[in-house]
Structure 1
Amino acid sequence: MEEGVDYYLNENGLMVFTAAYHLKRGYCCKNKCKHCPWNFGKDGGRKTSKIQIKSKPK
């Protein structure tokens, strides 16, 4: 992990993961992370996505 890319330290000295880190990890942990690229816990609890995943045609 690289500071400034994958995480940063907030004013309380706590590690905060960036959206880039979450995308590298590849899934939502459903902990309402501050920089969740899947917006879990935001928009009234409705899970929306900033990224689009194309599905394979059937």
Structure 2
Amino acid sequence: MKKFIPLEEGDFYFSEEGYKVFTKQYHLKRGYCCESGCRHCPFGYNQKTNAQRHS
């Protein structure tokens, strides 16, 4: 079961289309990449290659 992470100020914003967009801050708090190609992914996931950037 995935851990529930409460949303805080700075965790997301709404796009012009009205979608909730999670920020780098939220992704780092969550602690893993969901491999959905998130706009602010700090893990370097690339949907085209289906791979993450390794530091």
List runs of 5+ in structure 2 lacking aligned partners.
Answer: 1-6
Q: Which amino acid in the other structure matches residue 36 of structure 2?
A: N
Structure showing greater relative contact order (alpha-carbon pairs closer than 8 Å, 6 or more residues apart): 2
Percent identical: 46
Whichever of the two has the greater Rg, that structure is 1
Q: Which of 5, 8, 17 lines up with 1:2 in the alignment?
A: 8
TM-score, normalized by length of structure 1?
0.70
List runs of 5+ in structure 1 lacking aligned partners.
Answer: 53-58
Matches of 1:47 and 1:38, distance apart in 2? 6
Runs of 4+ in 1 over 2 A off after TM superposition: none
RMSD of Structure 2 on Structure 1 (CA)? 1.7
